[in-house]
């Protein structure tokens, strides 16, 4: 990893272990993109900016400046002067003029990586340093230098007329090929400027018949992989729902036409942000491609007063020439080493039982205790009390905001219940939905203006609730105290932080008319502040984010919680595609996965208990059913499943994940493999989705093993070399029935 500026050629070279990123200065001071791809040592590629050919640069051919702006590979594009491709920055003056022209001024290269104020971001250095309660984590370039595992390049560009500074930031790490990019905007003029659009990244390149890969979905169908050819014009994904959403995911990749799981080029971008986003690929008239990603400009406008700064969230870039596997490994490594701060990151999480699908709102202390006692007997380690423990909440139409325990259901309060459960030798966890308020609540009665709403217009309800205006500090403070005082009152080891509706009726009583376009981003800053404060006060809390299942499963949330509830769809067959799309970017240790009851509450499907367990093992693992009411046969399987979890979780949590086969492609079977970093152990999960008549054993080709080592297939005494398993394959014997599964554990001998 190294960043160098070559004075003579005016080229910035960013080297990661296997990739090179080049940008440079053309003409007098235009900052252009040169190259991003497989690592090269030679940086002299400035000719790729094509300024030696017509229309040249405006300095030598002013009359064709417009043609230059249509063609030049901009490192950060701006609106209003003639680059008609997607712009990253649109700035408006008080007078209503919208144009911006950026020119290179200077740059800095330094060790370390400054924090992005108020935002989740990748970091350099040990996790321990970042999680010390009360530690000063406001790393300056100076203090970062001590760690030496990360380098940052900041390039200052300026619009002289607007007196606007734009600082492009690039950070690289010595243990991954990922590049973290973000942008800082500073207004040094005497007047306010309005940012109508401010993206975090722009990447121009030539098209090579790329295809676009995105993750699309819906509630209970999150993050399904979708691949399609790139066409001329703009195409992409976005969310304007106030969260990263079920429907689209803040991820976009361009793949070579022939790129497979194991081979070929991939350019991936992932947004470390949980709110509105846009991610686009635009194929131009010259068959060039511009990839962009940032905060969704729809409804966004940020007033930047004189001497104020705006910081964009960061985007992670990954280039791989080893297919999707290569990209996946870089994202996983980056997130494990440089994004997830929780002390739980490398720890086995307690096997939990969540009562949501077990009881929904229909419970009392005795019922919960009865479930806990039985769960404990079966080896389950934590009881999580979900929605319905507070206010008058017996249905979903009231009480959000009233975070006082419902003593009718839970006499003696949470303290009594937590004491009884911890008395069993279990941990106790609790559900909150802190960002919301029900119209039927004491909080709403007292503060109707705290809900996001447009004055004079009835606000839209979603699940009979409104969203609290977390752009207002007094509301953030109130919510924090409401949640923290509950956590202080009892022994609560885990919190599930839920969020069950989108943002609408965007208006805040706390913002002036010209600042209303800031609400959605300020809301996200409020959510981040809340979770940051929670972790500062309760550093060992195991936090699991959730949003109607997996609507806020994004890298922003990972900065605060080491795990996120993946989907309300707990049907193991539906989970295959959901978990495949999720694991494309996220380590398995982040993926909230539970064994639930059948017929499944979402799909009505019946899947063997064993298969449900095997699928949930590829995540955090837990249960979401009433253990007192399932059959004895199923009950009897739980201790064995918990044992499997304890046996394999270190491997699943810390190992390298490989996709072997996808039921989405072959419609018959799904298969993934996790191999320890030292390649001594490997676990293969094979799920037969549909039995095929008159068929024999099937060969699966394993990955990531040591080709020269010998592995024993646990429980069989059979031995194979890594070479055989990877090149010739392993035979999976014929299995009868749909939805059946098998685990193969390989241990080096």
Enumerate the active-site residues: 498, 568
Sheet strands (E) in 403-493:
427-432, 436-437, 466-467
SS3 404: coil
Q: Which of 21, 565, 739, 744 binds ligand DGJ (CB under 6 A)?
A: 565
SS3 552: coil
Determine if 72 is a binding residue for ligand DGJ (CB under 6 A).
Answer: no
Cα 564 from Cα 430, distance rounded (Å): 15
Q: How many CB atoms lie within 10 A of CB 418?
A: 24
Cα 282 from Cα 83, distance rounded (Å): 13
* All residues at 6 or more sequence positions from 502 whose CB lies less than 8 Å from its CB, including other chains: 241, 242, 243, 245, 462
Token readout for 376 is 């404990």
Q: Which stretch binds ligand DGJ (CB under 6 A): 176-184, 188-196, 544-552, 659-667?
A: 544-552
Determine if 568 is a binding residue for ligand DGJ (CB under 6 A).
Answer: yes
Token readout for 267 is 């350019």
Q: How many CB atoms lie within 10 A of CB 705?
A: 23
The answer to whether the CB of 200 falls within 8 A of the CB of 294 is yes
How do beta strands 427-432 and 382-385 pair?
parallel
471 CB-side CA count, 13 A: 22
Determine if 556 is a binding residue for ligand DGJ (CB under 6 A).
Answer: no
Q: Which stretch binds ligand DGJ (CB under 6 A): 169-177, 542-550, 554-562, 686-694?
A: 542-550
Q: Residue 496 CB, nearest distance to ligand DGJ (Å)?
A: 6
Q: Which stretch binds ligand DGJ (CB under 6 A): 273-281, 448-456, 541-549, 683-691?
A: 541-549
Residues forming beta bridges with residue 660, ordered by sequence position: none
SS3 412: coil
Q: Which stretch binds ligand DGJ (CB under 6 A): 318-326, 468-476, 543-551, 653-661?
A: 543-551
Q: Residue 248 CB, nearest distance to ligand DGJ (Å)?
A: 18
Q: Which stretch binds ligand DGJ (CB under 6 A): 266-274, 304-312, 319-327, 546-554?
A: 546-554
Q: Residue 433 CB, nearest distance to ligand DGJ (Å)?
A: 7
Q: Which of 55, 549, 555, 619 binds ligand DGJ (CB under 6 A)?
A: 549
Q: Residue 314 CB, nearest distance to ligand DGJ (Å)?
A: 27
Smaller CB separation from ligand DGJ, 356 or 538: 356
The answer to whether the CB of 49 falls within 8 A of the CB of 60 is no
Residues numbered 692 to 711 that lie near ligand DGJ (CB under 6 A) are: none
Determine if 431 is a binding residue for ligand DGJ (CB under 6 A).
Answer: yes
Binding track over 485-514 against ligand DGJ, x by CB under 6 A: -------------x-x--------------
* All residues at 6 or more sequence positions from 433 whose CB lies less than 8 Å from its CB, including other chains: 387, 400, 497, 498, 499, 500
Q: Which of 77, 151, 548, 570 binds ligand DGJ (CB under 6 A)?
A: 548
Residue with tokens 């029935």: 737
The answer to whether the CB of 230 falls within 8 A of the CB of 207 is yes
Determine if 217 is a binding residue for ligand DGJ (CB under 6 A).
Answer: no
Determine if 469 is a binding residue for ligand DGJ (CB under 6 A).
Answer: no
Smaller CB separation from ligand DGJ, 374 or 386: 386
Determine if 101 is a binding residue for ligand DGJ (CB under 6 A).
Answer: no
The answer to whether the CB of 59 falls within 8 A of the CB of 7 is no
Q: Residue 551 CB, nearest distance to ligand DGJ (Å)?
A: 8
Please state the separation of Cα 686 from the chain's center in Å: 26
Smaller CB separation from ligand DGJ, 565 or 686: 565
Alpha-helix runs per DSSP H in 270-412: 323-338, 356-359, 365-378
Q: Residue 354 CB, nearest distance to ligand DGJ (Å)?
A: 7
Q: How many CB atoms lie within 10 A of CB 174?
A: 14
Determine if 386 is a binding residue for ligand DGJ (CB under 6 A).
Answer: yes
Q: Residue 236 CB, nearest distance to ligand DGJ (Å)?
A: 27
The answer to whether the CB of 251 falls within 8 A of the CB of 268 is yes
Q: Which of 87, 101, 325, 387 binds ligand DGJ (CB under 6 A)?
A: 387
The answer to whether the CB of 682 falls within 8 A of the CB of 648 is no
Determine if 436 is a binding residue for ligand DGJ (CB under 6 A).
Answer: no
Smaller CB separation from ligand DGJ, 68 or 497: 497
Smaller CB separation from ligand DGJ, 296 or 596: 596
Determine if 222 is a binding residue for ligand DGJ (CB under 6 A).
Answer: no
Smaller CB separation from ligand DGJ, 125 or 429: 429
Smaller CB separation from ligand DGJ, 549 or 613: 549
- Nearest 5 degrees, angle CA 237-CA 89-CA 15? 80
Cα 295 from Cα 170, distance rounded (Å): 18
Cα 317 from Cα 21, distance rounded (Å): 10
With contacts defined by CB under 6 A, how many residues of the chain interact with ligand DGJ? 11
Determine if 563 is a binding residue for ligand DGJ (CB under 6 A).
Answer: no
Q: Which stretch binds ligand DGJ (CB under 6 A): 35-43, 545-553, 677-685, 739-747?
A: 545-553
For ligand DGJ, the nearest residue by Cβ is 387
Residue with tokens 């839209």: 460
Q: What is the residue-wise DSSP string for 79-147?
A: SSSS--S--SEEEEETT--B----EEEEEEEEES----TTS-----S-HHHHHSTT------HHHHTTT
- Nearest 5 degrees, angle CA 671-CA 673-CA 677? 170
Determine if 356 is a binding residue for ligand DGJ (CB under 6 A).
Answer: yes
Q: Residue 396 CB, nearest distance to ligand DGJ (Å)?
A: 6
Smaller CB separation from ligand DGJ, 297 or 549: 549
Smaller CB separation from ligand DGJ, 30 or 432: 432
Please state the separation of Cα 657 from the chain's center in Å: 17
Q: Residue 386 CB, nearest distance to ligand DGJ (Å)?
A: 5
How do beta strands 563-565 and 591-592 pair?
parallel
Determine if 265 is a binding residue for ligand DGJ (CB under 6 A).
Answer: no
Alpha-helix runs per DSSP H in 379-472: 413-423, 442-446
Q: Residue 463 CB, nearest distance to ligand DGJ (Å)?
A: 8
Between the CA atoms of 112, 117, 123 and 128, what dihedral angle is there, to the nearest 10 degrees?
110
Determine if 553 is a binding residue for ligand DGJ (CB under 6 A).
Answer: no
Q: Residue 387 CB, nearest distance to ligand DGJ (Å)?
A: 4
Determine if 585 is a binding residue for ligand DGJ (CB under 6 A).
Answer: no
Q: Which of 546, 588, 638, 661 binds ligand DGJ (CB under 6 A)?
A: 546
> Site residues (CB under 6 A) for ligand DGJ?
356, 386-387, 431, 498, 500, 546, 548-549, 565, 568
């Amino acid at each position: 990893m190294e960043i160098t500026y070559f004075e003579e050629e005016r080229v910035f070279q960013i080297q990661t272990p296997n990739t090179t990123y080049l940008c440079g200065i053309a003409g007098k001071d235009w900052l252009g993109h040169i190259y991003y791809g497989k690592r090269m040592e030679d940086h002299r590629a400035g000719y790729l900016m094509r300024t030696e050919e017509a229309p040249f640069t405006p300095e030598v051919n002013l009359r064709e400046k417009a043609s230059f702006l249509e063609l030049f590979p901009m490192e950060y594009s701006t609106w209003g002067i003639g680059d008609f491709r997607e712009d990253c920055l649109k700035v408006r003056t008080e007078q209503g003029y919208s144009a911006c022209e950026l020119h290179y001024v200077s740059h800095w290269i330094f060790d370390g990586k400054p924090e992005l104020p108020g935002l989740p971001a990748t970091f350099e250095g040990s996790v321990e340093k970042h999680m010390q309660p009360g530690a000063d984590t406001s790393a300056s370039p100076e203090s970062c230098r001590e760690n030496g595992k990360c380098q940052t390049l900041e390039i200052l560009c300026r619009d002289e007329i607007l007196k606007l500074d734009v600082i492009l930031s690039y950070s690289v790490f010595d243990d991954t090929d990922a590049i973290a990019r973000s942008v800082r905007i500073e207004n040094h003029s005497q007047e306010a400027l309005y940012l109508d659009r401010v993206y975090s990244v722009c990447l121009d390149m030539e098209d090579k018949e790329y295809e676009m890969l995105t993750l699309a979905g819906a509630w209970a169908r999150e993050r399904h992989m979708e691949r399609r050819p790139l066409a001329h014009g703009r195409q992409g994904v976005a969310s304007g729902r106030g969260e990263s959403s079920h429907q689209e995911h803040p991820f976009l990749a361009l793949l070579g036409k022939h790129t497979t799981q194991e081979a070929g080029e991939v350019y991936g971008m992932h947004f470390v942000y949980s709110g509105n986003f846009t991610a686009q690929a635009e194929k131009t008239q010259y068959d060039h491609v511009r990839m962009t990603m940032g905060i969704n400009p729809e409804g966004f406008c940020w007033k930047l007063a004189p001497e104020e700064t705006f910081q964009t969230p960061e985007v992670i870039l990954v280039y791989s020439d080893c297919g999707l596997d290569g990209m996946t490994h870089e994202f996983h490594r980056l997130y494990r080493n440089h994004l997830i701060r929780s002390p739980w990151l490398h720890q086995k999480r307690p096997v939990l039982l969540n009562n949501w699908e077990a009881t929904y709102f229909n419970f009392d202390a005795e019922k919960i205790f009865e479930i806990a006692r039985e769960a404990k007997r079966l080896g389950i380690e934590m009881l999580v009390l979900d929605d319905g423990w507070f206010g008058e909440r017996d249905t979903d139409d009231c009480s959000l905001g009233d975070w006082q325990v419902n003593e009718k259901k839970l006499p003696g309060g949470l303290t009594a219940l937590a004491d009884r459960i911890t008395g069993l030798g279990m941990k106790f966890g609790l559900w909150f939905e802190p960002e919301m308020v029900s119209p039927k609540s004491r909080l709403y009665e007292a503060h109707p203006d705290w809900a996001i709403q447009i004055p004079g217009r009835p606000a839209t309800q979603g699940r009979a609730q409104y969203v609290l205006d977390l752009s207002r500090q007094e509301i953030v403070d109130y919510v924090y105290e409401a949640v923290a005082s509950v956590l202080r009152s009892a022994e609560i080891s885990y919190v599930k932080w839920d969020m069950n509706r989108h943002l609408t009726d965007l208006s805040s009583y706390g913002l002036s008319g010209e600042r209303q376009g800031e609400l959605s981003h300020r809301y996200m800053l409020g959510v981040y502040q809340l979770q940051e404060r929670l972790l500062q006060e309760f550093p060992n809390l195991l936090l699991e984010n959730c949003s109607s299942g997996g609507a806020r499963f994004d890298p922003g949330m990972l900065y605060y919680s080491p795990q996120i509830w993946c989907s309300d769809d707990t049907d193991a067959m539906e989970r295959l595609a959901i978990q495949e799309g999720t694991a494309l970017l996220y380590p398995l240790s982040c993926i909230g996965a539970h064994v639930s009851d059948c017929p499944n509450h979402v799909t009505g499907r019946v899947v063997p208990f064993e298969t449900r367990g095997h699928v949930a093992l590829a995540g955090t693992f837990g249960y979401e059913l009433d253990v007192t009411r399932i059959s004895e046969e199923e009950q009897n399987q739980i201790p064995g499943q918990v044992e499997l979890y304890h046996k394999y979780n270190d491997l699943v949590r810390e190992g390298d994940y490989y996709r072997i086969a996808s039921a989405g492609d072959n419609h018959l079977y799904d298969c993934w493999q996790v191999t320890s970093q030292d390649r001594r152990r490997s676990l293969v999960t094979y799920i037969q989705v549909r039995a095929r008549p008159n068929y024999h054993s099937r060969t699966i080709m394993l990955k990531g093993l040591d080709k020269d080592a010998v592995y024993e297939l646990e429980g069989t005494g059979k031995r194979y070399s890594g070479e055989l398993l990877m090149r010739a394959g392993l035979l999976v014997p014929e299995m009868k029935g749909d939805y059946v599964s098998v685990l193969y554990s390989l241990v080096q001998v």
